[in-house]
C-alpha cells in the first residue's frame, strides 16, 4: 500500500496502536491531555529497542563517543546562555473565526509545500509522457509552468526568511494575507497579529514561592552535554574529535501539538554533540550526514522514504543545518536534525559562567573553544516512522485479510511467540521449555488461547517476526513449525535450531556490522 494514497493511514495507525498496546492517550480515564501519550507494553519495548540501536551505533561503535545522562532541571542561567530565554520562540497567529492557533512559519511552509507538490506532479506527468528519453534536470530548468512555480517559491521563501531574520511580524502577517492562506479548520482568512511565543515550560524550585527561583524543563538535551563538556573531556581524557551522546526527555510548549506522537509537548531526544577543531566543521557535518542516513537506511524502512532538507533559516547557533525528512503518513517531515553549531554554545557558557570551556591542542600548543556538529533525532518521531512504514493491510490468497506490522525484526517488541497447537497433551509444557530457553536472549511470549490462525493474526498485529508452533509430532521428533511473519512461510526445524535461528535473526550485531 503506497502510503500517501491513504489519507486515513495515520488514523488507522493511531487506532491500531491503541488496540494493540503500543500507544495510549495519556490519562485517558480523565479524557486525556492534549498532545501527551503513554507508551504501552509493546510501545515501550519498541521505543527501548530503537533507543538501544541508536545508543550502540553511537557509543559502542565509536571509540571516541561516550554517553551521559544529565538531569532535566538545569541552572536557569543555562537557558539564558543558550539563547532559549530570549530566542526560543515561535511566531504564532490565531484565526479569529475558528479560534485556532497556528505557527505562522508552518502556514507559509505548508503553502510552499503545496507549490512544490505541483512541480512534482508536472515531473511525474512528463516522466510518463517522455519515458526513457526524460531528462529531469532539463525539464526543471525549461518547463514554463515549473519555472513559474519555482519563482513563486523563491520569492515567498526570500521574503519569509527576511521577515524571520528581522523579526518583522507585521510583514509576516501581510505575507499570509497576500498568499490568501486560509485557516484549515474554518476556511477563514481572518487573522490576528503575529506574536512571539516562548516554548519553554517553567516551574519553581523550592517548596515555598518565597525565595523560589524560576527554572525550566529542558527544551533540548544538548545543553546537558555542553555544561558537562569539561567534566567528560577531563575524566575521560578525551582528545578532539570526540562526541558525547545522550538520550532523554525534552519539553516544549508547542503552539500546535498534533499529528499523534509527531509533535508532543513532552518527548524524547537522542542527541550527540561532536566536538571538533574549528575549521573542520564542514567535513564533519558531511561525515555525520552520511553516517546518520546510513543508520536510517540500515533499518530497511525504504530508502525512498528519506530525503535531506537544507535549512533556509539557520537557528541562532548554526552555520549549516539540515534535516533528514521521512515520508510520514502526512508527507515528508523532519525526523532528525544535523547542525553545525560552531562554538556558539560553549562560548556562551564560558561567558555566562566565567569558566573556561576549552581544549588544549598539544600539537598546536594552544587552547581553543571546540566547534560542535550535532545530530539530534526525536525518538518518538522515529517510533512513528517505524510504525507507519510497518503498518500493512493485506488481502490474502484465500480472500481473508490481515493487518501486519512489518517492524524490522531487531526492533520488534516481541521476537517470537511460542504456540502450543492445543492447550493439553503435554504441548503447553513443551512450549514452555522452548520459551524458557529463548527468554534469556530475546523477548518471547507464549499464547495458548484460540485457534492457531487467530493467534497468528494476533502476533502479526503486534509485529512478532516469528511464531513457533508446537504440535503432537514435536513430542516425538523434537521438530517445531516456524512461521515467518512477512512471508507467512512455514518450515519444520528442530527445537535447537529454532532457538539459534531466532537469536541470530534478531541480533543487533548483524545490523551494527552494516554501518
For binding to ligand ATP (CB under 6 A), which residues are involved?
220, 252, 254, 263-264, 267, 269, 334-337, 376-378, 380-381
Cell of 499: 532457538
Q: Which CB atom, from 323 or from 460, has the smaller least distance to ligand ATP?
A: 323
Q: Give the angle 476-481-487 at the CA atoms, nearest 5°.
A: 170
Q: Which CB atom, from 82 or from 474, has the smaller least distance to ligand ATP?
A: 82
Assign residue 471 a region (left: φ > 0; alpha: ψ between -120 and 50; beta: otherwise).
beta
Q: Which CB atom, from 191 or from 260, has the smaller least distance to ligand ATP?
A: 260
Return all residues near 214 (Cβ < 8 A) that are at least 6 apart.
Answer: 76, 202, 203, 204, 205
- Cα–Cα distance for residue pair 335/323, rounded to 1 Å: 7
Closest separation in Å from C-beta 157 to ligand ATP: 16
Closest separation in Å from C-beta 271 to ligand ATP: 7
Q: Which CB atom, from 179 or from 257, has the smaller least distance to ligand ATP?
A: 257
Closest separation in Å from C-beta 491 to ligand ATP: 40
Return all residues near 299 (Cβ < 8 A) that are at least 6 apart.
Answer: 53, 386, 408, 411, 511
Q: Which CB atom, from 201 or from 352, has the smaller least distance to ligand ATP?
A: 201
Residue least distant from ligand ATP (Cβ): 378
Closest separation in Å from C-beta 378 to ligand ATP: 2
Q: Which CB atom, from 89 or from 494, has the smaller least distance to ligand ATP?
A: 89
Q: Which CB atom, from 376 or from 481, has the smaller least distance to ligand ATP?
A: 376
417 and 464 in contact (C-beta within 8 Å)? yes
- Cα–Cα distance for residue pair 31/181, rounded to 1 Å: 33
450 and 480 in contact (C-beta within 8 Å)? no
Q: Which CB atom, from 244 or from 444, has the smaller least distance to ligand ATP?
A: 244
Q: 460, 461, 484: which is closest to 469 by C-alpha?
A: 484
Closest separation in Å from C-beta 269 to ligand ATP: 5
Closest separation in Å from C-beta 477 to ligand ATP: 51
Closest separation in Å from C-beta 192 to ligand ATP: 21
Residue 417 three-state SS:
strand
Q: 155, 160, 172, 500: which is closest to 311 by C-alpha?
A: 160
Over the range 315-331, which residues count as b (16 or more CB within 10 Å of their CB) and which as e? eebbebbbbbbbbbbbe
45 and 63 in contact (C-beta within 8 Å)? no
Q: 71, 81, 72, 75: which is closest to 213 by C-alpha?
A: 75
Closest separation in Å from C-beta 381 to ligand ATP: 4
Q: Which CB atom, from 109 or from 350, has the smaller least distance to ligand ATP?
A: 109
Q: Which CB atom, from 335 or from 421, has the smaller least distance to ligand ATP?
A: 335
β-bridge mates for residue 366, sequence order:
361
Closest separation in Å from C-beta 401 to ligand ATP: 32
89 and 82 in contact (C-beta within 8 Å)? no
- Cα–Cα distance for residue pair 314/312, rounded to 1 Å: 6
Q: 37, 7, 35: which is closest to 24 by C-alpha?
A: 37
Closest separation in Å from C-beta 132 to ligand ATP: 38
Closest separation in Å from C-beta 87 to ligand ATP: 12
Q: 424, 444, 426, 449: which is closest to 499 by C-alpha?
A: 444
Q: Which CB atom, from 264 or from 386, has the smaller least distance to ligand ATP?
A: 264
- Cα–Cα distance for residue pair 12/6, rounded to 1 Å: 10
Q: What are phi and psi of 102, to 5 degrees?
A: -130, 160
Closest separation in Å from C-beta 262 to ligand ATP: 6
Q: Which CB atom, from 109 or from 501, has the smaller least distance to ligand ATP?
A: 109
Q: Which CB atom, from 252 or from 296, has the smaller least distance to ligand ATP?
A: 252
Closest separation in Å from C-beta 44 to ligand ATP: 17
- Cα–Cα distance for residue pair 408/490, rounded to 1 Å: 19
Q: 195, 199, 197, 213: which is closest to 266 by C-alpha?
A: 199
Q: Which residue has the cell 484460540?
A: 450
Cell of 305: 522514504
- Cα–Cα distance for residue pair 382/50, rounded to 1 Å: 8
Q: 436, 418, 423, 417: which is closest to 472 by C-alpha?
A: 423
Amino acid at each position: 500500500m503506497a502510503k500517501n494514497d491513504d489519507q486515513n493511514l495515520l488514523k488507522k495507525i493511531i487506532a491500531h496502536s491503541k488496540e494493540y498496546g503500543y500507544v495510549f492517550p495519556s490519562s485517558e480515564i480523565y479524557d486525556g491531555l492534549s498532545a501527551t501519550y503513554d507508551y504501552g507494553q509493546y510501545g515501550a519495548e519498541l521505543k527501548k529497542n530503537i533507543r538501544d540501536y541508536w545508543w550502540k551505533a553511537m557509543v559502542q561503535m565509536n571509540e571516541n563517543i561516550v554517553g551521559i545522562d544529565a538531569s532535566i532541571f538545569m541552572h536557569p542561567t543555562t537557558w539564558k546562555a543558550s539563547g532559549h530565554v530570549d530566542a526560543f520562540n515561535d511566531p504564532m497567529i490565531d484565526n479569529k473565526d475558528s479560534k485556532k492557533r497556528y505557527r505562522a512559519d508552518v502556514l507559509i511552509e505548508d503553502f510552499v509545500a503545496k507549490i512544490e507538490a505541483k512541480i512534482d506532479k508536472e515531473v511525474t506527468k512528463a516522466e510518463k509522457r517522455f519515458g526513457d528519453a526524460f531528462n529531469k534536470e532539463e525539464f526543471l530548468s525549461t518547463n514554463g509552468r515549473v519555472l513559474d512555480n519555482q519563482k513563486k517559491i523563491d520569492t515567498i521563501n526570500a521574503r519569509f526568511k527576511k521577515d524571520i531574520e528581522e523579526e518583522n511580524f507585521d510583514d509576516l502577517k501581510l505575507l499570509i494575507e497576500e498568499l490568501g492562506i486560509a485557516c484549515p479548520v474554518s476556511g477563514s482568512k481572518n487573522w490576528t497579529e503575529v506574536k512571539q511565543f516562548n516554548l519553554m515550560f517553567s516551574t519553581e524550585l523550592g517548596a515555598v514561592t518565597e525565595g523560589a527561583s524560576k527554572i525550566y524543563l529542558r527544551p533540548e538535551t544538548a545543553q546537558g552535554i555542553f555544561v558537562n563538556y569539561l567534566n567528560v573531556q577531563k575524566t575521560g581524557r578525551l582528545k578532539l574529535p570526540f562526541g558525547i551522546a545522550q538520550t532523554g526527555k525534552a519539553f516544549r510548549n508547542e503552539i500546535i501539538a498534533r499529528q499523534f506522537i509527531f509533535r508532543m509537548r513532552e518527548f524524547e531526544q537522542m542527541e550527540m554533540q561532536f566536538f571538533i577543531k574549528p575549521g573542520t566543521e564542514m567535513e564533519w557535518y558531511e561525515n555525520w550526514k552520511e553516517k546518520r542516513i546510513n543508520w536510517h537506511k540500515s533499518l530497511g524502512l525504504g530508502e525512498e522514504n528519506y530525503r535531506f532538507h537544507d535549512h533556509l533559516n539557520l537557528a541562532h547557533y548554526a552555520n549549516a543545518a539540515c534535516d533528514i525528512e521521512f515520508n510520514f503518513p502526512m508527507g515528508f517531515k523532519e525526523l532528525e536534525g544535523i547542525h553545525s553549531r560552531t562554538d556558539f554554545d560553549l562560548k556562551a557558557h564560558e561567558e555566562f559562567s566565567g569558566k573556561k570551556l576549552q581544549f588544549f591542542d598539544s600539537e598546536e600548543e594552544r587552547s581553543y573553544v571546540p566547534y560542535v556538529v550535532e545530530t539530534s533525532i526525536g525518538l518518538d518521531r522515529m517510533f512513528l516512522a517505524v510504525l507507519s512504514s510497518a503498518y500493512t493491510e493485506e488481502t490474502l490468497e484465500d480472500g481473508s485479510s490481515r493487518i501486519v506490522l512489518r517492524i524490522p525484526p531487531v526492533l520488534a517488541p516481541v521476537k517470537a511467540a511460542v504456540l502450543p497447537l492445543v492447550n493439553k497433551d503435554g504441548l503447553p509444557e513443551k512450549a514452555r521449555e522452548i520459551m524458557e530457553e529463548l527468554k534469556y536472549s530475546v523477548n518471547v511470549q507464549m499464547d495458548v488461547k484460540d485457534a492457531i490462525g487467530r493467534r497468528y493474526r494476533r502476533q502479526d498485529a503486534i509485529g512478532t517476526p516469528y511464531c513457533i508452533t508446537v504440535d503432537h509430532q514435536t513430542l516425538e521428533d523434537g521438530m517445531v513449525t516456524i512461521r515467518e511473519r512477512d512471508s507467512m512461510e512455514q518450515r519444520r526445524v528442530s527445537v535447537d535450531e529454532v532457538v539459534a535461528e531466532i537469536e541470530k535473526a534478531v541480533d543487533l550485531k548483524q545490523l551494527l556490522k552494516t554501518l
